[in-house]
Amino acid sequence: ISPPAFRRALTSWIETVPMSKIFALGGDHFIIEQSYGAMKLGRNLVAEVLADLVERDYLDEGLALIVGQRMLHDNAVDFWNISD
């Protein structure tokens, strides 16, 4: 993950794509530590992007939390038809 590229892309997607269509993370690592590291970095980058959008008054805090929940969990559950 290129952090600057991820931030730019995710900001653009949040501003232009329905939030139900964005999956924030995913990967195909064969080593669990790499998956963990990618997930941790990705979650931190999502948090930074959402915090920046709140700071710029593009999103309010409540909506940012909803967007984060959708990108990191709900969209995958809906797409893959997974029951919680």
In this predicted model, what pLDDT tens digit does every residue of 12-40 receive, in sequence order? 999 999 999 999 887 778 999 998 998 99
Residue 1's pLDDT band, with cuts at 50, 70 and 90, is low
Residue 67 confidence (pLDDT) above 80 = yes
The C-alpha R_g of the chain, in whole angstroms, comes to 13
Residue 19 neighbours by CB under 8 Å, 6+ apart: 66, 67, 70, 71, 75
- Write out the H or E segment, with its range, that includes residue 35: helix 32-55
Query: CA-CA-CA-CA torsion for 62, 82, 28, 31, nearest 10 degrees?
Result: 90
Q: What is the rounded CA–CA span in Å between residue 21 and residue 27?
A: 17
